[in-house]
Amino acid sequence: MTETLTPTHRPVRQLLAASVGNAVEWYDWYAYTFLATYIADQIFPKGSGSSLVPLLSTFAVFAVGFFMRPVGGLVMGAVADRHGRRAALTLTILLMGGSSLLVGVTPTYAAAGVFGPLVLVLARLLQGLSVGGEFAASTTFLVESARPGRRGLFSSFQYVSTTAGQLIASGVSAALVAALSGGQMAGWGWRVPFVLGALLSLVGFWIRQGAVETRSAGRQEVRPGLFDALRRHPRASLLICGITAGGTLAYYTWTSYLPTYAELNADVAKDDALWAGTIALAFFALLQPVAGMLSDRWGRRPLLLFFGVGFAVLSVPLLHALDGSFLMLLLVQSGGLVLLSGFTSISAAVNAEVFPARVRAAGIGFPYSLTVALFGGTAPYVGTLFKQIGNAGLFPWYVAALCLVSSVVYLRLPETAWGELER
């Protein structure tokens, strides 16, 4: 019989089970972004008219993976609602490990022709399915594990672990770039992080076997249908879309795409861009628990407005401030991440507080992942496309506009920090 959470269980055990697995999941996902330029050279043929064609193709595959996330959020969320959060968390990390290994062994275009890009697309589709399910399950698991008055703090570990995975991916990528020659990196070095990710997934799987179930085993209700959350809670579903839209675009711009944006638009050296990103992400991870605790004391809405209004006003001047130097990139990225912590630290708590326990995982997973796919997953592609058509300066305005839209939603959002969470 599955063990169910009680007040006697230590919270550190729950945080570790969720965080370690989540970090591994996101390490695998982000390694692709940091190594995009190497993958582009090896897997996609160069276009005759533009050297940006391979990079655009690589980011298009990145976006395709994102469009599997709503499916993962819906299906794995339903697994979490029907069979428990731990069952879904175990399944997602095994799926991520397999897909990471598949990226690592993808044949090059020179060796296998179009078969290479097809294998890469398949791997990214599986990764998208896994990551979409991971957010749905781990969000509910973390927030349901929290004691009263600590949901914001526990919520922050969603992005502590996500950022830790991203940080490891960035650090490993930067270390490989520094240690290997250009030929070695292009030939086989870019594959190393993905093989390592597959091995780390096994570690995450083992740790998650010790997780304690948070879904009440005493509930004898009929198991929810796949689309019950959407049919019975349409307003809550739309609310999550509005909450997430600006946050996900800002998040993927500042944490994933900014190094590439700086290379393309400010002539920042590739190794400088990777190291600046690594340092800024370490700082970002430290901000999460602080912001989460502030939300438990002051409420969710003030932090969301701090993020939304801040990005609406400062996105354009921050991105225009990039001048090719390592220091300026570090300052721009760190400044944006301070603002972004107002969203990331409490995203899990806000989402979980919107839905009842019966459909919480699937209810969060589908609208959240769909919004991330539409605005977060396409951020690198849109930014690179603006550059190719000669209007790179429009991208910062795009970020600012969407954050302004989300700010309007935050203004009308009911405060949920101090209410009871249905379990």
**Where do the domains of the chain lie, and which CATH numbers do they carry?**
11-209+229-411 (1.20.1250.20)
pLDDT at residue 62 greater than cutoff 80: no
- What is the pLDDT averaged over residues 66-74? 83
> In this structure, are residues 402 and 249 in contact, taking their beta carbons and an 8 Å threshold?
yes
* pLDDT tens per residue across span 198-231: 998 888 888 887 777 777 655 545 666 667 777 8
pLDDT at 258 over 80: yes
DSSP E strand boundaries for 139-244: none
Q: Is 385:251 a contact under the CB 8 Å cutoff?
A: no
Degrees to nearest 5, angle at CA 54 with 53 and 58:
115
| pLDDT number for residue 256 | 78
Q: 59 and 257 in contact (C-beta within 8 Å)?
A: no
Measured distance CA(190)–CA(102) in Å, rounded:
13
Look at residue 323 and give its three-state secondary structure. coil
Q: Cα–Cα distance between 44 and 116 in angstroms, integer?
A: 8
Give the residues across from 4 on adjacent strands. Answer: 213
Report the pLDDT value the prediction gives residue 51, as an integer from 0 to 100: 56
The pTM is what? 0.81
Which residue from 213, 212, 210, 175 is spatially nearest to 192, judged by alpha carbons? 175
Q: How confident is the model at residue 47 (pLDDT cuts 50, 70, 90)?
A: low
At 8 the pLDDT is: 39
pLDDT tens digits, one per residue of 289-314:
999 999 999 999 999 999 999 999 99
Rounded to 5°, angle at Cα 286 from 338 and 135: 85
Confidence at residue 239, expressed as pLDDT on a 0 to 100 scale: 92
Does residue 7 surpass a pLDDT of 50? no
List, in sequence order, the alpha helices (H) in 35-68: 36-43, 53-66
Residue-wise burial string across 152-184, b where 16 or more C-beta atoms lie within 10 A, e elsewhere:
bbbbbbbbbbbbbbbbbbbbbbbebbeebeeee
Residue 113 in contact with residue 401, Cβ under 8 Å?
A: no
Which class for 24: exposed (0-12), middle (13-18), buried (19 or more C-beta within 10 A)? buried
Predicted local confidence at residue 48, as pLDDT: 44
205, 212, 227 from 19: Cα distances, Å: 12, 14, 28
Residue with more model confidence, 71 or 64: 71
Backbone CA torsion sign across 313, 314, 319, 322: positive
Cα separation of 155 and 355, whole Å? 15
Lowest mean pLDDT of 3-7, 49-53, 167-171, 234-238, name the range. 3-7
Work out the pLDDT band at 3, boundaries 50, 70, 90.
Answer: very low
SS (H, E, C) 250-311: HHHHHHHHHHHHHHHHHCCCHHHHHHHHHHHHHHHHHHHHHHHHHHHHHCHHHHHHHHHHHH
Q: Is residue 9 pLDDT above 70, yes or no?
A: no
Average pLDDT, the chain: 84
- Closest by CA to 315, choosing from 379, 370, 377, 372, is 379
pLDDT digits (tens, 9 = 90+) for 381-390: 788 888 888 8
| Rounded percentage of the chain residues whose pLDDT exceeds 70 | 90
**pLDDT (mean) for 43-54:** 61
The pair of structure tokens assigned to 380 is 């690198």
At 342 the pLDDT is: 96
Q: Given this model, what pLDDT does residue 313 score?
A: 96
Look at the alpha carbons of 110, 113, 119, 122 in this order and tell me if their dihedral is positive or negative: positive
Question: What string of DSSP letters covers 89-130?
Answer: HHHHHHHHHHHHHHHHTPPPHHHHTTHHHHHHHHHHHHHHHH
d(CA 152, CA 159): 12
Highest mean pLDDT among 15-19, 222-226, 346-350: 346-350
- Compute the half-sphere exposure of residue 32: CA atoms within 13 Å on the CB side of its CA: 32
Residue 389's pLDDT is: 81
Check the CA dihedral 240-233-351-34 and report its sign.
Answer: negative
SS3 146: coil
pLDDT digits (tens, 9 = 90+) for 108-139: 888 887 788 888 888 888 888 888 888 888 88
* 54 pLDDT tier (thresholds 50, 70, 90): low
| More reliable by pLDDT, 177 or 65 | 177
